[in-house]
Amino acid sequence: MSRDLNGSREVLDGDDVARALTRMAHEVVERNKGAADLVILGIPKRGVPLAQRLGARISAAEGVDVPVGALDVTMYRDDLRLRPARALERTDIPPGGVDDKIVVLVDDVLFSGRTIRAALTALDDVGRPRAVRLVVLVDRGHRQLPIRADHVGKNIPTSLAESVHALVSEVDGRDGVVLAQAADQPRSDAEALP
Amino acid sequence: MTPNATILIRAARVLGGEPRDLLIDDGVIVALGAGARAADAARTATVVDADGLIALPGLVDLHTHLREPGREDAETVETGTLAAARGGFTAVHAMANTDPVADTAGVVEQVWRLGREAGHADVRPVGAVTVGLRGERLAELGAMADSAAGVRVFSDDGVCVSDAMLMRRALEYVKAFDGVIAQHAQEPRLTEGAQMNEGELSGRLGLQGWPNVAEEAIVARDVLLAEHVGSQVHICHLSTRGSVEIVRLAKQRGLPVTAEVTPHHLLLTDELVATYDPRYKVNPPLRSAADVAALREALADGTIDIVATDHAPHPVEAKDCEWDVAAFGMLGLETALSVVQHTMVDTGLLDWSGVAERMSYAPARIGRCDTGELAHGRPLAEGEPANIVLVDPSVSATVDPSASASLSRNTPYEGMKLPGAVVATFLRGRPTHVTGGLL
Amino acid sequence: MIRHLLSAGDLSLDDATLVLDTAEEMARLTEGRSVKKLPTLRGRTVVNLFFEDSTRTRTSFELAAKRLSADVVNFSAKGSSLSKGESLKDTALTLEAMGADGVVVRHSASGAPYRLATSGWINACVLNAGDGTHEHPTQALLDAFTMRRHLGELSGKRIVIVGDVLHSRVARSNVALLATLGAKVTLVAPPTLLPTGVERWPCDVSYDLDAALSGADAVMMLRVQRERMNAAFFPSAREYSRRYGLDSRRQALMPAEALVLHPGPMNRGMEITAEVADSDRSVIVEQVTNGVYVRMAVLYLMLAGTTEEAA
Contact C50, C58 (CB under 8 A): yes
Q: Where in chain B is the domain with CATH 3.20.20.140?
A: 58-366
**Which residues of chain C from 90 to 119 reach within 8 Å of chain A, CB to CB?**
none
Q: Residue C274: phi, psi to the nearest 5? A: -55, -40
Mean pLDDT of chain A: 90
Structure confidence by residue, pLDDT tens digits, A87-130: 899 999 999 999 999 999 999 999 999 999 999 999 998 999 99
What is B7-55+382-434's CATH topology? Urease, subunit C; domain 1 (2.30.40)
Instruction: Tell me phi and psi for residue C306, to 5 degrees.
Output: -70, 150
CA-based nearest distance B273→chain C, Å: 10
The mean pLDDT value for B143-149 works out to 97
Facing residue for A85 by CB, picked from C25, C37, C304? C304
The complex's ipTM? 0.92
pLDDT grade, residue A68 (50/70/90)?
A: very high
- Give the domain ranges of chain C: 8-135+289-303, 137-288
Coil, strand, or helix at residue C277? helix
pLDDT-derived band at B19, boundaries 50, 70, 90: very high
By Cβ distance, the residue of B199, B200, B322 closest to C109 is: B322
Number of Cβ pairs < 8 A linking chain B and chain C:
78
Distance CA B78, CA B242 (A): 38
Best probe of the B interface among C108, C115, C164, C222, by most B CBs < 10 A, is C115
Read off the pLDDT of residues B69-97 as tens digits, 9 standing for 90 and up.
999 999 999 999 999 999 999 999 999 99
C-alpha to C-alpha distance for B402 and B410, rounded to whole angstroms: 10
Q: Do A90 and C29 touch (CB under 8 A)?
A: no
Say yes or no for a CB contact (<8 Å) between A81 and C22: no
Order of all β-strands in the sheet with B257-261:
B153-154, B180-183, B233-235, B257-261, B306-307
Q: Which CATH superfamily is C8-135+289-303 part of?
A: Aspartate/ornithine carbamoyltransferase (3.40.50.1370)
- Chains near C with 3+ CB pairs less than 8 A apart are A, B
- Could you check whether C8-135+289-303 and C137-288 share the same CATH topology? yes
Judge whether B429 and B30 are in contact, CB under 8 Å: no
Beta strands per DSSP E along B293-354 = 306-307
What is the pLDDT, as a whole number, of residue A86? 85
CA distance C92 to C88: 6
**pLDDT at residue A6, as a whole number:** 62
The pLDDT value given to residue C35 = 63
The one-letter code for the residue type at B159 is V
Interface test mutation site (partner C, options A81, A124, A128, max chain C beta carbons within 10 A): A81
In this model, does residue A192 exceed pLDDT 60?
A: no
Which residues, numbered 189 to 208 in chain B, qualify as contacts with chain C under a Cβ-Cβ cut-off of 8 Å? 195, 198-208
- On the question of pLDDT at B38 being above 60, the answer is no
Residue positions counted in chain B: 439
CA distance B208 to B197: 8
B332 and chain C: CB distance < 8 Å anywhere?
no
Q: Please work out, in degrees rounded to the nearest 5, the angle formed at the alpha carbon of residue C239 by the alpha carbons of C273 and C226.
A: 70
B322 touches chain C (CB under 8 A): yes
Q: Percent of chain B scored above 70 by pLDDT?
A: 97
- pTM comes to 0.91
**Count H helices, E strands: chain C?**
11, 9
* pLDDT band of B197, cuts 50, 70, 90: very high
Q: Which of A86, A91, A121 is facing C39, going by the closest CB pair?
A: A121
**CB contact (8 A) between residue B276 and residue C110:** yes
Domain B58-366 of CATH type 3.30.930.10: no
pLDDT at B37 (0 to 100): 60
What lies within 8 Å, CB to CB, of B415 at 6+ separation is B398, B399
Helix/strand/coil for A105:
strand
Q: Which of B38-42, B107-111, B271-275, B278-282 has the lowest mean pLDDT?
A: B38-42
Q: Are B419 and B428 in contact (CB under 8 A)?
A: no
Identify all chain C residues contacting B205, using CB atoms and an 8 Å cutoff: 110-111, 134
pLDDT at residue A4 is higher than 80: no
Chain A, residues 103-132, CB within 8 A of chain C, namely: 121, 124-126
DSSP A112-143: SSHHHHHHHHHHHHH---SEEEEEEEEE----
Topology of domain A15-159 in CATH is Rossmann fold (3.40.50)
Average pLDDT of span A162-189:
81
Residues 206-225 of C with CB under 8 A from A: none
Residues of chain C with Cβ-Cβ distance to B325 below 8 Å are 109
The answer to whether B183 and B142 are in contact (CB under 8 A) is no
Collect the ranges in chain C with pLDDT lower than 50: 309-311
Q: Residue B291: which pLDDT band, with cuts at 50, 70 and 90?
A: very high
Residue B337 per-residue DSSP state: H
Q: Which of residues 53-92 of A touch C (CB under 8 A)?
A: 72, 75-76, 80-92
DSSP B251-274: HHTT--EEEEE-HHHHH--GGGGG
Please indicate whether, in this complex, the C-beta atoms of C110 and B324 are within 8 angstroms of each other. yes
Predicted confidence (pLDDT) at residue A186 exceeds the cutoff of 70: no
Q: Which residue type sits at B29? A: I
With bands split at pLDDT 50, 70 and 90, how would you rate the model's confidence at A81? confident
**For residue B49, what are the β-bridge partners?**
B10
**Residue range C137-288 in CATH 3.40.50.1370:** yes
Cis peptide preceding C265, ω within 30 of 0: yes
* B291 a catalytic residue: no
pLDDT score of C34: 61
pLDDT, position C36: 72
Are A111 and C75 in contact, with CB atoms under 8 Å apart?
no
- Span B183-199, mean pLDDT? 97
- 10 Å CB burial of residue A143 (0-12, 13-18, 19+) is middle
**Phi and psi at residue C179, to the nearest 5°:** -65, -45
Question: What residues of chain C lie within 8 A of the CB of A90, using their CB?
Answer: 25, 28
Establish whether chain B is in contact with chain A, requiring a minimum of 3 CB pairs below 8 angstroms.
no
**Half-sphere exposure of residue B97: CA atoms within 13 angstroms, side-chain side:** 17
Q: Which residues of A touch C311 (CB under 8 A)?
A: 83-84
Question: Which of the following is catalytic: B61, B103, B291, B310?
Answer: B310
Task: Give pLDDT, residue C209.
Answer: 96
Strand A131-139 to A151-155 pairing: parallel
Beta strands in B193-294 (DSSP E): 196-197, 209-210, 233-235, 257-261
Write the residue in A81, A89, A91 that is nearest to C306 by C-beta: A81
For a pLDDT cut of 90, what percent of chain B falls above it? Answer: 93
Rounded CA separation B406/B340 (Å) = 20
